[in-house]
Structure 1
Amino acid sequence: MADSKIIFAAIDLGTSFSGWAFALRTDPDTMPNIFVKSWYSAYTAHATGKTPTCVLIKPDGESLEAFGYDAETKYNELVSKRLHDTYFYFKNFKTGLYGKYYQPLNMGMTLVDEMGKTLPAINVFSSSIRYLADDMYTQLEKSFQDIRREDIRWVITVPAIWTDQAKYLMRESAIKAGMKSDSLIMALEPEAASIYCRQLDLRAINRETGVALASLEVGSKYLVLDAGGGTIDLTIHEVDSSKCVKQIVVSSGNVSGGNAVNREFERFLKEAISDDKYQQFKRNQTEDWLYLMGDFEIKKKSFDPKKQDTIVLRFPLSLREVFETSKRQSLWRKSRKRKCIEEAVKDTSFGTDITIKRDKIIFTARDFSRFFQHSLEKTIKEIRKQLDKLHGEMVYCILMVGGFSECTLLQQEVISSFPFIPVNIPIEASTVVLKGAVVYGNNPPIISERVVKYTYGVSACNSFIADAHPVEKRLVTDTGVVCKDIFSKHVTRGELVKTGEPQRKECYLPQYRNQKSVKFDICASKLPNPRYTTDKDCHIIGTIEIQLTERDDARENTIIVSFAFGGTEIVVTAVEEETGKEIKTHVSFLE
């Protein structure tokens, strides 16, 4: 990294909440003094370390109107004046990038806003990143004289379970937002959390003698549970030295984060009043809908079934009115079998003890717990699967970070499900990733090794063998008869690789005398030893083209290709052996 950078700035664009932080350059062995932006809501008296990931974009589809708490407030104002229909309001849009490695993303992909309108994904992401970056730079200008954007090293956090395609789209969004590629680092969220907590004296909350991550000996293993609004991200780290950790098994996770609980609450409302009427309420009574979901979000985090018998939410009068004016109710009136809203909420699959009194809806602790059931079950199942990969080896603790880790019920479930493993939950768990990303920017090599999720290679040609190769892959070139679509493997799934170091180098020769360039298809597979790039579970996920130095016979020009897994991205390097000309590029996984 360039020594000219004096500020290390992190942006955590989360599914539910986002924020920024920065620190001045320090000695890599010293914990920097990290400044985290405090955010204030018009509806709450206290400040928070992150702001809601809410984006309000003007009717032109390009210009940002507001972000975070300000976007919520401004959107409410527009709703009250009936001016919101032409604006675009996005929440929880980050999950749009979660997918499988073979599901292509493209620069033209769109996202759907809260009212069903669409915009290009890169516009929404880049607008959000630009706002957070500009907001931080405004603070820097107030604090430091003569600060320049060129003085900043940017770190953008991404989930470990994201595909390479999704990580690349996030990088492109940051560049579109004005960040220079050579000043930009992508950091995996569980790794950022691990880095930060390794430098703190964190003790387990369920043991009198807990485990301090900073004092773990070399070889000690611990599981990082990054529970956010959108994703549950699980990684097992092993202490490699006093300052470095390494990933030892493939990361895993799912999309059963805190928003899954919200979706269950919304499913309850749809069961009670019908999907159509819920959408009508959401569309026509947007202000009441926002207040209802905001109230649920607060109660969700603080809910403690060991201390609370009931949970009370404000029940909007407009929701009752929407239900009682439905066509279904008109039919009930005619048949004198009218069903009131109080009866409707009792007839859902979420319990019979739910009551409505005037402007309040009251849940028993048992019924409220049902909203968490699917999320908690999937999270515990995912933790067990991750621990099983160690084949009985000891884990010294579970480190819980992310906004959903602040949820009391999730904490209790993890502790009770794994009673013999200490559980560490840092104060302000929601900002741990953000702070860790700043530390990572100051000292990126702190993650010494990672486990590769897929088998990677390039599509190449070998001599054709009649008895061994399919006839449809036979190709006649200036070199002779070859077999095309050979999966030339560079890295095997599950292989432990040193970060930033080129892996196995392979040599390739052009196939034609007058060839001007060599185009490599970059391939990924779940198989450990794929034979052809057309095999099942093998997919071309990108391409890279190397221009050749002009010569009489291009077939004599050897190209050496290697893959390096530095940061969160794959970097492919191609060297023209005779001239020493080197081309290094981030592999583009976007179509």
Structure 2
Amino acid sequence: MADISKAEKGLSQMSIDQPTASQNLIVVAIDVGTTYSGYAFSFRNKPSEVTVVNWENHANNGFSYKAPSVLLLNQTYQFVAFGYEAEKQYSDIITREPTDQYLFVKNFKTELVNDRGLQRHLLVKDVLHRFIPAHGLFIETIRFLRKHFLGTLRSRGLSFQEDDIKYIVTIPAMWTDVAKQIMRESAGVAGIKPRNLELAFEPEVAAVHCMHIPSENLSGRGKDLKEMSEPGRKFAVLDLGGGTADMTIEQNTLDGKIKLVHKATGGLWGGDKVNQEFSKFLRNVVGENIFNKFIRENILDFLFINGQFETKKRSIRKDTEGEIVLQLPVSLCETYVEGTGISLAETIRNSIHSRDISVMRGRFNISAEKCRSFFTGAIIGIIEHAKEMLSKPEYQDVKHILMVGGFSESPLVIDEMRSCFPDKRVIVPVDAGLSVLKGAVLYGHNTDIITSRPSPLTYGLSLYDTFDGRKHDMTKSVMVGRDRFVLGLFEKVFTINEEVKIGSKRSIGVYENYVGDSDALRRSTKEIEIFSSSDPNPRYVTDINCSRHGCLVVPPPESGWPDHVKGQVEFEFGATELMIRYVDKNSDYTVTGSVDFHLRETPLDLMQSSIRKQA
């Protein structure tokens, strides 16, 4: 603002045509989960015939529809293996090579799902507590799953051009624009072209899947989705994954589509929280140092006992009695004797845990009551959050709760939900753990099935105007020559919780004068900062609930900026992402897709960040 630009501001709203059904020959969905990951696909001529790939489970000599979210890297962070194969190779490596030459990372997404989501420079720990950049883990996981998918096609004698394939990558609905940007960047580095990629919110696509399955494949009173599928009907979707539990409120439209009524909210109450409680209990019984030594030297046995618990926990109910039996690795017993001089069985018999657990003939017996206690924290979080949301006056007419995600398959969780919500119909698909994958494939064939959703935040730009003491804060003002201006006025584009149709566009017009400016200035890059707020009506971009949300980087045209630049900053409410572009009205010069949502480390300079408000 050293040379105060002349600007005109105009707010307009328009809608683009709704996207048509997929023209790609094949749609593949990739789900990078907290505990398990996988992919599924179907062809355009038979979109509902979704293929979910089987993974060979080395530990149990069986197969599963998803592979563990486990990566094996070498010491320079180069990919070695993924999933069950990573578990097997790492187990072999530690018996013959120094473990410091490899990094073994499991459940890495757990550390990424928090209030701020995924951040570019976030570090996560491997099993030996060494730090690894999280961004690279997503790249390698997506790259592996894409490569495996292409190999599956080749093994069937099928060949496709890259532009024949549409990729849908699922993400938690609570993730921020920063997290979405990093996931998109990761997919790009992994080999997916931007034009062939779309991100999809997990609870939304899960609902799409459930709308396409027959009632006999559902678990619920009456086993019938007819009432829930009625036009105008609101319903809750409770997505219980490995890391998070989140709830959305959705509504059927009159034309058979779905709109999001309440954005996803939730917390870290997924199935992995139960596993963490079990692991914490084992550490307490065995001792921290001995347990860590056991993991370092016998990683496959550690994964094996956790895999057993993962399977057993799915059968625990409110009325389960007796004991849950796990095979106890010999290596754990030997490590314990080496460290203490006495057997683990004897220690347990003489401990405060003797009521809950016992060791006998290589078996680890845990009382059903103790196993249920591992669920307590997760279930309390889920129930309290669901009650809080469903108690709101505007959702009193919600009569159905659709449970999806792997943790929704837990009978104990289902029992507790039905017990705590006797006036609701709790519906659970038979393959709840695959609802996101299958639904994402269906969504990819028909992306316009989701019509609108509430704006997660209030978005806008920073404007400046001639100071008016009757309505402006003197502390926000500055003198430029003889004139006083107020800086940092928050000019809204979208308002938090406002229902916005997918594809809606709104814009703020900008005019700048370059007459008399140097060639260097004419060829300089524009940086237009985007701001957001949790307040529906923020006054200034420096208000307590406001923050810098991103920056639109606008390089000049090839010949530099002309004397008079008349353009607009255009916001588009996309399918899952906020898209921002700059359009020059005189030349149709457009810059899009170059928004950086990462937080800037430089101090906010309102003189540079504000554009002038039209009088």
TM-score of the two chains, using structure 1 as the length reference = 0.89
Residues 477/172 of structure 1: CA separation in 2 closer, same or farther (3 Å cut): farther
Contact preservation (8 Å) 1:221, 1:394:
yes
Partner of 1:20: 39
What per-residue deviation string (whole Å, max 9, x for no partner) do you get for residues 216-254 of structure 1? Answer: 211101111111111112111100134310000121111
Partner of 2:456: 453
Q: Which amino acid is the alignment partner of residue 525 of structure 1?
A: S
What per-residue deviation string (whole Å, max 9, x for no partner) do you get for residues 493-515 of structure 1? Answer: 1111101221x332234487646
Partner of 1:264: 277
CA positional deviation for 1:189: 0.5
Contact preservation (8 Å) 1:200, 1:214:
no
CA positional deviation for 1:385: 2.0
Partner of residue 507 from structure 1, selected from 506, 509, 512: 509
Contact preservation (8 Å) 1:230, 1:257:
yes
Contact preservation (8 Å) 1:231, 1:253:
yes
**What is the alpha-carbon distance in structure 1 between the residues aligned to residue 355 and residue 533 of structure 2?**
49
Partner of residue 53 from structure 2, selected from 17, 37, 53: 37
Q: Secondary structure at the match of 1:251?
A: strand
In the alignment, structure 1 residue 80 sits paired with structure 2 residue 88? no
Partner of residue 342 from structure 1, selected from 336, 343, 348: 348
Contact preservation (8 Å) 1:507, 1:558:
yes
Q: Secondary structure at the match of 2:451?
A: strand
Contact preservation (8 Å) 1:225, 1:398:
yes
CA positional deviation for 1:83: 4.3
What per-residue deviation string (whole Å, max 9, x for no partner) do you get for residues 273-296 of structure 1? Answer: 333332222223323212221111
Partner of residue 293 from structure 1, selected from 303, 306, 314: 306
**What is the alpha-carbon distance in structure 1 between the residues aligned to residue 588 and residue 253 of structure 2?**
35
What per-residue deviation string (whole Å, max 9, x for no partner) do you get for residues 538-589 of structure 1? Answer: 11121013345656754xx333223222121110132223333333326332
**What pairs with 1:577-588 in structure 2 (closer than 5 Å)?**
577-585=585-593, 587-588=595-596
What per-residue deviation string (whole Å, max 9, x for no partner) do you get for residues 433-462 of structure 1? Answer: 111111111111110010112111122222
**What pairs with 1:167-316 in structure 2 (closer than 5 Å)?**
167-202=180-215, 205-207=219-221, 209-212=222-225, 216-316=229-329
Identity percentage of aligned residues? 32
**What is the alpha-carbon distance in structure 2 between the residues aligned to residue 407 and residue 548 of structure 1?**
56
Partner of 1:387: 390
**What is the alpha-carbon distance in structure 2 between the residues aligned to residue 408 and residue 534 of structure 1?**
48
Q: Which amino acid is the alignment partner of residue 413 of structure 2?
A: L
Gaps of 5+ in 2: 1-18, 600-615
Partner of residue 93 from structure 1, selected from 108, 121, 134: 108
Q: Which deviates more, 514-523 or 376-385?
A: 514-523
**What is the alpha-carbon distance in structure 1 between the residues aligned to residue 594 and residue 233 of structure 2?**
33
In the alignment, structure 1 residue 464 sits paired with structure 2 residue 477? no
Contact preservation (8 Å) 2:118, 2:182:
no
CA positional deviation for 1:213: 5.3
CA positional deviation for 1:344: 6.6
Q: Which amino acid is the alignment partner of residue 453 of structure 2?
A: R
Contact preservation (8 Å) 2:38, 2:66:
yes
Residues 251/389 of structure 1: CA separation in 2 closer, same or farther (3 Å cut): farther
**What is the alpha-carbon distance in structure 1 between the residues aligned to residue 193 and residue 47 of structure 2?**
26
**What is the alpha-carbon distance in structure 2 between the residues aligned to residue 104 and residue 467 of structure 1?**
43
Residues 512/352 of structure 1: CA separation in 2 closer, same or farther (3 Å cut): farther
**What is the alpha-carbon distance in structure 1 between the residues aligned to residue 360 and residue 240 of structure 2?**
34
Partner of 1:568: 576
**What is the alpha-carbon distance in structure 1 between the residues aligned to residue 364 and residue 293 of structure 2?**
20
Q: Secondary structure at the match of 1:494?
A: coil
CA positional deviation for 1:180: 0.8
**What is the alpha-carbon distance in structure 2 between the residues aligned to residue 187 and residue 137 of structure 1?**
21
Contact preservation (8 Å) 1:570, 1:587:
no
What per-residue deviation string (whole Å, max 9, x for no partner) do you get for residues 316-340 of structure 1? Answer: 34434444555xx68xx9xxxx995
Contact preservation (8 Å) 1:199, 1:214:
no
**What is the alpha-carbon distance in structure 1 between the residues aligned to residue 181 and residue 262 of structure 2?**
22
Residues 482/468 of structure 1: CA separation in 2 closer, same or farther (3 Å cut): same
Partner of 2:371: 368
CA positional deviation for 1:402: 1.0
**What is the alpha-carbon distance in structure 1 between the residues aligned to residue 275 and residue 346 of structure 2?**
24
**What is the alpha-carbon distance in structure 2 between the residues aligned to residue 588 and residue 214 of structure 1?**
44
**What is the alpha-carbon distance in structure 2 between the residues aligned to residue 344 and residue 507 of structure 1?**
76
Partner of residue 436 from structure 2, selected from 433, 438, 451: 433
CA positional deviation for 1:150: 2.4
Contact preservation (8 Å) 2:323, 2:365:
yes
What per-residue deviation string (whole Å, max 9, x for no partner) do you get for residues 455-491 of structure 1? Answer: 1112222222345444453345699643222222111
Residues 288/581 of structure 1: CA separation in 2 closer, same or farther (3 Å cut): same
**What is the alpha-carbon distance in structure 1 between the residues aligned to residue 325 and residue 554 of structure 2?**
63
In the alignment, structure 1 residue 535 sits paired with structure 2 residue 554? no
Residues 559/18 of structure 1: CA separation in 2 closer, same or farther (3 Å cut): same
Residues 381/115 of structure 1: CA separation in 2 closer, same or farther (3 Å cut): same
Partner of residue 151 from structure 2, selected from 138, 154, 173: 138
CA positional deviation for 1:299: 0.9
Aligned-residue RMSD, C-alpha:
2.7
Q: Which deviates more, 462-471 or 523-532?
A: 462-471
Residues 573/551 of structure 1: CA separation in 2 closer, same or farther (3 Å cut): closer
Partner of 2:12: none
Contact preservation (8 Å) 1:346, 1:355:
no
**What is the alpha-carbon distance in structure 2 between the residues aligned to residue 390 and residue 163 of structure 1?**
27
In the alignment, structure 1 residue 55 sits paired with structure 2 residue 36? no
Gaps of 5+ in 1: none
Q: Secondary structure at the match of 1:367?
A: helix
Contact preservation (8 Å) 2:231, 2:256:
no
CA positional deviation for 1:137: 0.6
Contact preservation (8 Å) 1:460, 1:487:
yes
Residues 189/390 of structure 1: CA separation in 2 closer, same or farther (3 Å cut): farther
**What is the alpha-carbon distance in structure 1 between the residues aligned to residue 351 and residue 95 of structure 2?**
28
CA positional deviation for 1:45: 4.3
Q: Secondary structure at the match of 1:229?
A: coil
Residues 306/545 of structure 1: CA separation in 2 closer, same or farther (3 Å cut): same
**What is the alpha-carbon distance in structure 1 between the residues aligned to residue 330 and residue 195 of structure 2?**
54
Contact preservation (8 Å) 2:568, 2:584:
yes
What per-residue deviation string (whole Å, max 9, x for no partner) do you get for residues 12-44 of structure 1? Answer: 111111111111114xxx753211111121222
What per-residue deviation string (whole Å, max 9, x for no partner) do you get for residues 290-324 of structure 1? Answer: 22211111111122342442111223344344445
In the alignment, structure 1 residue 123 sits paired with structure 2 residue 139? no
Number of positions where the alignment pairs a residue of Structure 1 with one of Structure 2: 570
Residues 240/67 of structure 1: CA separation in 2 closer, same or farther (3 Å cut): same
Residues 370/215 of structure 1: CA separation in 2 closer, same or farther (3 Å cut): closer
Contact preservation (8 Å) 2:219, 2:429:
no
**What is the alpha-carbon distance in structure 2 between the residues aligned to residue 511 and residue 296 of structure 1?**
68
Contact preservation (8 Å) 2:552, 2:595:
yes
**What is the alpha-carbon distance in structure 1 between the residues aligned to residue 246 and residue 481 of structure 2?**
50
**What is the alpha-carbon distance in structure 2 between the residues aligned to residue 584 and residue 159 of structure 1?**
25
CA positional deviation for 1:149: 1.9
